[in-house]
Structure 1
Amino acid sequence: MSALKQTLTTEAKAIGFAKIGVCRPTDIVEAGARLHAFVAARHHGQMEWLADRIEWRSDPSALWPEAKSMIMLADLYTPNHDPLAILQEKSRAAISVYAQNKDYHDVVKKRLKRLGRWLLEQAGEDHQIKVFVDTAPVMEKPLAQAAGLGWQGKHTNLLARDLGNFFFLGAIFTTVPLEPDSPDVSHCGSCTACLDICPTQAFPAPYQLDARRCISYLTIEHKGPIDPDLRSALGNRIYGCDDCLAVCPWNKFAQTATEMRYAPRDDLRAPNLAELVQLDDQGFRDRFSGSPIKRIGRDRFVRNVLYAIGNSGDAGLIEMARSLVDDPDAAVSDAAKWALEQRP
């Protein structure tokens, strides 16, 4: 390992990253073919941004021809509690672990910029960097596997033998030539725990995802009413889903996250559905200021809460949906009517 890369690794961990690896722009050729097949099958649902810049996603050198190295970094958010326990509390909302506090985009990007500035100081100002956190046409998971951080499991998320699978990915593209790491390979073996637990059967085959059936996609990305055949499977999940991550056996080797900005806020750990369903637009924005939840807006959020209320089996709670039957948003109104139909 070169001296620069060795000190880069040390600096990355000092900043707070759990793991670092490097790959080249040409290391994910096969991932581009898989993405094309994913889009051709319409498994991306309403996420047209995946198709719009598919060539950039498929080939990092098309996104930035001058880049020589992709530095991939993992930032742990491993919970210190069982994310599945909340699913038994039907009158409370299940919010994905990653969204229970600060927006990770802001936290990770600041760390990436700090590390990138350090790299330029060491390599020289004639070099350049670009940092990415889940908002650019970059295939972070294939790049991370190529850089040796872990592998894409049967649930298509990245996991690692030493990290489990509760971690964010960040990328620094740079013109600095760095020694690449060896890619990781799958260590899933015969395990199918992540596939078996999926409430909506979103995996047509191991290592394949149909986002149109994924609860994370449905509660976050999908606009309008959700397919009635899938609503009962949502349970009380109102933002994201941790099921396939939580059951992965490799989590037993993971360290608990130490970043306090990822620790659950008291009001988001297990909030009451009765409280959330009453939020108007201003109340929603105030409650979720600085949270990744804010980006879906009040209407989609309340739609999700109404589905959870309908699934609660609590007649008193379900009755609260009546006040939203005439909501100006069509999806909210539809969800309220559906919830009332579920009254025992």
Structure 2
Amino acid sequence: MNIKVSPKTIDVVATTNFTTAEDVKRWIKTKAQALGFADCGFLSVHHPLFTKQMQQLQRWLDKGYEGQLQFMHNNHDLRAHPEQLVQGAKTIISVRMDYLTQAPTPRAIDDNNRPNSGIIARYARGRDYHKTMRGRLKQLALQIESMLPEWQHLAIGAETPFIFRPFSDSAPIFERPIADAAGLGWTGKHTLLLNKQAGSFFVLGELFLSLELPDDKPITAHCGSCSACIDICPTQAIVAPHELNAAACISYLTIEHDGAIDTKYRRAIGNRVFGCDDCQLICPWNRYAKLTTVEDFAPRHQLDNSSLLELWQWQEADFLQYTQGSPLRRTGYVNFLRNIAIGLGNANASTEIIAHLTSKLNVHGDMLDEHIDWAIDEQREKLIIIKH
């Protein structure tokens, strides 16, 4: 349901002289940054990019790169016509929010140096950012609403009932292309958004609203001849510049994929139990990545420093407790164990690991047992090599 608020008639103390719509945009950007957003850009709901993106999406789907992401086949009318998603909306404010709490070693995959640790993607170690993002976007909208009387002379729709709706990965929206077109960065060869001053360790959100504000301009891409992200991908999921086979991506496999993971990917998954940061860690632009100012991204329950065996010993009650309000809840308990079993199979050779793996056999079903058996075989093979 769209949110409608009638313009307030109370006096508002002006903090600046608003003579153009660009003045309004600058004011909004300042308020967005005060709420913890690193930057924001503006784009019309009628921008021509949506038609182009629909064509690209259909070509991507035709190649079968979506895996089990069946929702990508739905709501194409809303993707192509975002004005239908929020009736009365004229402008999309695209925002980004930094999430790193510790700067990684530039152009290195330190995660590989800890084979017995359970690696969780950096965005997912704290609270689920989606609620944080939407909550702060709502705060931004309410601040905008309070200024409508100051802007009624600007012919941007401030005199009409105000409509807004915040999103964060929560609707059929071309999130990254919108941010690209709105000037928040350019699309890297790994298909993530890159920013010259901040790399790519940020999440995106959108605020649809009824004000009619001028579009921002896209920026020039700066990947050049670099192919570091393509070369480093453990499963070779980046099949070409700007083209991702999601069905082979570790982030998809460990989060979205339900059921057995193909054996051809298991060794490549390594110790990553929820998501994968490799293509970002290796990117030279992430030497400029910024640390977050948002407390919700702070790691909880030592999710930035947990061993695979510690995570393996979580019972379902532990999983539900420790993942409350966390992105990790998305995998479900058994799929989370599946991911950890793969990690344990890839860990350093250890009879202790075999014993712990064996303890969960015949407990959670055939799918998990199959991964446990695979992990035990991997461990035994490594132990035999050590003995010889």
TM-score, length-scaled by structure 2? 0.85
For the residues of structure 2 that align with 1:207 and 1:17, how far apart are their CA atoms?
26
- 2:237 touches 2:246 (CA, 8 Å); kept in 1? yes
- Seq. identity, %: 36
**Local SS of the residue matching 1:129:** strand
C-alpha contact (below 8 Å) 1:32/1:59 kept by paired residues: no
Query: Greater shift after overlay, 321-330 or 106-115?
Result: 321-330
Distance 2:371 2:79 in 1: 35
Q: Which of 371, 375, 381 is 1:339 aligned to?
A: 375
Query: 2:191 maps to what in 1?
Result: 156
Residue 164 of structure 2 is aligned to residue 129 of structure 1: yes
Retained in 1: the 8 A contact 2:334–2:364? no
Letter in 2 for 1:44: E
Contact 2:103 2:289 in 1 (8 A): no
Q: Distance in 1 between matches of 2:62 and 2:39?
A: 34
Which stretch shows the higher mean deviation, 236-245 or 334-343? 334-343
Q: Does 1:286 align with 2:306?
A: no
- How far did 1:153 drift? 0.6
Q: Which amino acid aligns with 2:30?
A: T
Which residue of 29, 36, 40 corresponds with 1:9? 29
Residue 168 (structure 1) aligned with residue 168 (structure 2):
no
The amino acid across from 1:321 in the alignment is L
1:81 alignment counterpart: 103
Whole-Å separation in 1 of the counterparts to 2:349 and 2:373: 15
Give me the whole-angstrom Cα distance separating, in 1, the residues matched to 2:355 and 2:137: 48
Distance 2:112 2:233 in 1: 13
Q: Is 1:98 the counterpart of 2:123 in the alignment?
A: yes
> Do the aligned partners of 2:103 and 2:291 also contact (CA within 8 Å) in 1?
no
Please give the alpha-carbon distance, in whole angstroms, between the structure 1 residues aligned to 2:144 and 2:38. Answer: 18
Question: For residue 30 of structure 1, what is the amino acid of its counterpart?
Answer: K
Aligned to 1:43: 65
* Rg (Cα) greater in structure: 2
Q: Secondary structure at the match of 1:114?
A: helix
State the Cα distance separating 1:137 from its structure 2 match. Answer: 0.7
Structure 2: unaligned runs, 5 residues or longer: 1-20, 149-157, 383-388
Q: Which region of structure 1 is more displaced relative to structure 2, 89-98 or 218-227?
A: 89-98
SS of equivalent residue, structure 2 residue 162: coil
Mapped pair 1:64 → 2:86: yes
Query: Structure 1 segments of 4 or more deviating over 3 A?
Result: none
Q: Does 2:358 correspond to 1:322?
A: yes
Structure 1: distance between partners of 2:95 and 2:199: 14
Moved more, 270-279 or 115-124: 115-124
Q: Describe the shift of the 1:135–1:318 C-alpha distance in structure 2 as closer, same or farther (beyond 3 A).
A: farther
Worse-superposed segment, 298-307 or 322-331: 322-331
Q: Which amino acid aligns with 1:279?
A: W
**2-structure distance, mates of 1:341, 1:132:** 45
Unpaired runs of 5+ residues, structure 1, are: none
Secondary structure at the residue paired with 2:239?
A: coil
Q: What is the rounded CA distance, in whole Å, between the counterparts of 2:179 and 2:135 in structure 1? A: 19
1:195 aligns with 2:220: no
State how many pairs are aligned: 344
Deviations 1:279-334 (A, max 9, x none): 22211101211211012111110100000000113222133111222123332111
Partner of 1:119: 144
Of the three residues 206, 210, 221, the one matched with 1:186 is 221
- Amino acid in structure 1 at the alignment position of 2:217: S
Give the corresponding residue for 1:31: 53
Map of 1:206-245 to 2, 5 A cutoff? 206-245=241-280
RMSD: 1.5
Distance 1:105 1:238 in 2: 20
- Tell me which moved more, 15-24 or 216-225: 15-24
- Equivalent of 1:21, from 41, 56, 59? 41
SS in 2 for 1:342: helix
